[in-house]
């Protein structure tokens, strides 16, 4: 899972990771994730954020990368087909 706060960076990740093909066995996916660090607390009320922005630690600081903890659970609210490149099947 590659992440970025910048949609253009996310689309670049996607474009580099999937080779355009005519078969139906591959599709790109972009997740738009809403994560509010203010609402993540443990039973003691301590803030436990399962994600962090890691720009200052990343080799590529311009990616605006977010790191999610292993085992993070996401809820899908909608799925739509999109094709910003005109040559690939993209789902957002």
User: Which residue's structure tokens are 């999610």?
Assistant: 68
What's the pTM value of the predicted model, to 2 decimals?
Answer: 0.63
Sequence-distant (≥ 6) Cβ neighbours of residue 9 within 8 angstroms: 62, 63, 64
Provide the domain count of the chain.
1
Give the pLDDT score at 23.
58
User: Which residue's structure tokens are 């738009």?
Assistant: 32
Q: 10-residue block means of pLDDT along the chain (92 residues)? A: 86 76 67 76 66 84 85 82 63 58
Residue 1 lies in a domain: no
| Residue range of the domain that includes 55 | 7-91
Give the pLDDT score at 47.
59
Residue 32 lies in a domain: yes
Query: Do β-strands 90-91 and 28-29 pair in parallel, antiparallel, or remain unpaired?
Result: parallel
Residue 77 lies in a domain: yes
Residue 85 lies in a domain: yes
Give the pLDDT score at 55.
84
Give the pLDDT score at 36.
74
Residue 2 lies in a domain: no
């Amino acid at each position: 899972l590659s992440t970025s706060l910048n949609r253009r960076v996310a689309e670049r990740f996607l474009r580099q990771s999937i080779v355009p093909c005519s078969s139906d066995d591959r599709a790109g996916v972009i997740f738009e994730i809403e994560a509010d660090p203010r609402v993540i607390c443990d039973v003691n009320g301590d803030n436990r954020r399962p994600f962090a922005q890691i720009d200052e630690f990343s080799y590529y600081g311009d990616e605006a990368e977010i790191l999610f903890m292993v085992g993070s659970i996401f809820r899908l609210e909608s799925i739509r087909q999109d094709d910003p490149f005109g040559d690939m099947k993209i789902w957002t």
